[in-house]
Structure 1
């Protein structure tokens, strides 16, 4: 299991921009589905997730 996680982390690090884009799209979808009711919480979660991938947020 350890080698799988190491490979996954390596891929995320190499493709941080694509991962951030996917996280952003997921956040947008969640915001639409909740009709904007939890926008602030979703944005905080998206920002936190993007900071934990690769070298951090690529779109500052």
Structure 2
């Protein structure tokens, strides 16, 4: 067994736990991302608003993908994930 195989075997349970947490708390994570994005945007006085919005949207999509893995494309509460933000 190679190094990468043993690493994957050890990280498997952690990956499942992260997916469960993302599914259970996806809405709280989204709110935290929005709050952090707003704080950064205010500190930079709007100079990087587009990049901040883009990064926040990508982070939310990643959380949705992690939390929805294997459940037919719905969030933990049974609703479909939100559409990606307009670019």
Q: Same fold (TM over 0.5)?
A: yes
Q: String of CA shifts for 1:7-49, please: whole Å, max 9, x gaps.
A: 0221011211111001111111110111111001100111111
Out of 44, 48, 64, the position equivalent to 1:38 is 48
TM-score normalised by L of structure 2: 0.58
Greater relative contact order (CA < 8 Å, ≥ 6 in sequence): 1
TM-score normalised by L of structure 1: 0.79
Q: Could you say what the CA RMSD is over the residues aligned between the two structures, in angstroms?
A: 2.0
Out of 40, 47, 50, the position equivalent to 2:57 is 47
Structure 1 consecutive aligned stretches of length 4 or more whose deviation exceeds 4 Å: none
Out of 18, 27, 30, the position equivalent to 1:17 is 27
Q: Which runs of 5+ in 2 are unaligned?
A: 1-10, 65-74, 76-80
Q: Which runs of 5+ in 1 are unaligned?
A: none
Partner of 1:5: 15
Larger Rg: 2
Aligned positions, number: 59
